[in-house]
Structure 1
Amino acid sequence: MVEVSNPVEALHADVLTGVPHGFLGRRGGVSTGAVAGLNVGLGADDAREAIAENRARAVAAVAPGARLVTVYQVHSGDCVVAGDWDDAHRPHADALVTDKPGVVLGIVTADCAPILLADVQAGVVGAAHAGWKGAFCGVAEATVEAMIALGASRNRIVAAIGPCIAQASYEVDEGFRARFIAQDEALGHFFAAGREGHWQFALEPYVAHRLALAGVGQIESLSRDTYADEEGFFSFRRATHRQEATYGRQFSLIACP
């Protein structure tokens, strides 16, 4: 189990050098029990005081003094411009963008792929939550278009994909694969044969594929498996397989340079 006295750890992407950002895991928080560590998920069975403290620590580790803005994530392809809403009035969406200094965008994940994007020259950043459904519905493309609407240039946008469930840990059934094949038979190469009637889905490469379709030229994948690394990350699927009553969520944060 994670030691709550550990400092907050933030993974960084080379393509986002110079941009305040971080892909955080579960180390460095005050939560205990099944969500021990830096749980930032409002939907987890955790004390609200602990979640608030963890969120404050996360922001301080990435963009000290910045105002945190998040959305109510629903596995959609929708992106919004960050506003001044509070947690109780978050819009339902799975990505958000900003060109405002002093704002830090936050996305929570627990196996889905977090995407952080930036156009440094334009001073525009974005953050997206890309599970298979959100990616399939175009959340990466929607985030790029929302950034462009704020003044970003498609050919300057760079993106990093943070820790998420790896192909070896992500078993799906034939019906799942059929959705992708029906859209484009070429998407079959994101699936490796598994046990009878099942496949292993490569979420991270698929998200990178969707970013490339959106015109993002520089894409970095951190290739960290949230399912396999119990000490480092929370995982919905791991908790489900163990029949645990709740699971934590980790933050991915980005602010304007």
Structure 2
Amino acid sequence: MSEPVAALTHPALAGAAHGFLGRQGGVSTGVVAGLNVSFSEDDPALTAENRRRVVEAVLPGATLTCCYQVHSPDVVTVTEPWADDARPHADALVTDRTGVLLGVLTADCAPVLFHDRQAGVVGAAHAGWKGAFTGVTDATVAAMEALGATRANIAAVVGPCIAQKSYEVDEGFERRFLEADAQNERFFRAGKPGHAWFDLEGYVADRLRAVGVGTVAMLGEDTYAQEERFYSFRRATHRGEASYGREISVIGLR
């Protein structure tokens, strides 16, 4: 008997069906063994079964709706689900419709789930460093407001992503952030000459607080360091593996 799907949740998102999922409970094998939800790196039948299990574990009967992620600040408002081959190019989704399960795929980037319980609006964002830097979370909050949400009433939780201790970057990367705002220095810790360690989770959380999100939380889970629990692009790259898989974070209204 296979192990059950494991979904991390957070009390700040209570009232919305949600989960930050990792590798546990899936049918994929090999280097992407577990609950891989990427069609590009697996047998499509296995990926489809994994996605079905995600829905059943979090919001049975809902329709999983994802975008074609491109590391942008772009957000799409979902009024009805679309076919997987018709996904819009974007990195965040928002909706006020029930029965729609918004999903973002990650493998070190930060997934962020949003909920305004009073307004009945949810959102999901894929925040890699580029999307975070160019404002994908800011844009998600604005798109939720267009559906009636209020910033002070929004709760946002940053899910499993690569931690600072695992995220070495070069000086050009660091310079980009410091030139945008000298205060971003606090998200970098000095490393070997010409390098630093970047706190993606902390940076994303700070962006959320800066635009007035009422409740901001972080799960503090390092995807790179926990091979049995999460997929990691950087870990697979360091090992020279051909595939790395994706986990998914989802949220929807009942």
Common fold: TM-score over 0.5 = yes
Equivalence map 1:1-257=2 (5 Å): 5-44=2-41, 46-82=42-78, 83-257=80-254
Per-residue CA deviations over 1:25-66 (Å, capped at 9, x if unaligned) read 00100000010000001222x100000000000111111100
Q: Distance in 1 between matches of 2:81 and 2:107?
A: 25
User: In the alignment, residue 183 of structure 1 is paired with which amino acid?
Assistant: A
Per-residue CA deviations over 1:181-220 (Å, capped at 9, x if unaligned) read 1101110110000111100000000000111122102111
Residue 18 of structure 1 and its aligned partner are, at CA, apart by: 2.1
Q: Is the 8 A contact 2:103 2:249 kept in 1?
A: yes
Q: CA RMSD in A?
A: 0.9
Q: Count the aligned residue pairs.
A: 253
Q: Distance in 1 between matches of 2:181 and 2:250?
A: 32
Residue 14 of structure 1 and its aligned partner are, at CA, apart by: 1.5
User: In the alignment, residue 249 of structure 1 is paired with which amino acid?
Assistant: R
For residue 52 of structure 1, give the secondary structure of its aligned residue in structure 2: helix
Q: TM-score, normalised by structure 2?
A: 0.98
Residue 84 of structure 1 and its aligned partner are, at CA, apart by: 2.7
Q: Which runs of 4+ in 1 moved over 3 A?
A: none
Worse-matched range after superposition: 158-167 or 10-19: 10-19
Residue 85 of structure 1 and its aligned partner are, at CA, apart by: 1.7
Q: Is the 8 A contact 2:63 2:81 kept in 1?
A: no
Residue 15 of structure 1 and its aligned partner are, at CA, apart by: 0.4
Runs of 5+ in structure 1 lacking a partner? none
Q: Distance in 2 between matches of 1:110 and 1:188?
A: 25
Q: Is the 8 A contact 1:140 1:214 kept in 2?
A: no
Q: Distance in 2 between matches of 1:20 and 1:85?
A: 20
Worse-matched range after superposition: 106-115 or 81-90: 81-90
User: In the alignment, residue 152 of structure 2 is paired with which amino acid?
Assistant: N
Q: Distance in 2 between matches of 1:164 and 1:106?
A: 15
Q: Distance in 2 between matches of 1:138 and 1:42?
A: 27
Q: Is the 8 A contact 2:81 2:100 kept in 1?
A: no
Residue 256 of structure 1 and its aligned partner are, at CA, apart by: 1.4
Runs of 5+ in structure 2 lacking a partner? none
For residue 28 of structure 1, give the secondary structure of its aligned residue in structure 2: coil
Worse-matched range after superposition: 175-184 or 4-13: 4-13
Q: Distance in 2 between matches of 1:127 and 1:154?
A: 15
For residue 209 of structure 2, give the secondary structure of its aligned residue in structure 1: helix
For residue 39 of structure 2, give the secondary structure of its aligned residue in structure 1: coil
User: In the alignment, residue 191 of structure 1 is paired with which amino acid?
Assistant: F
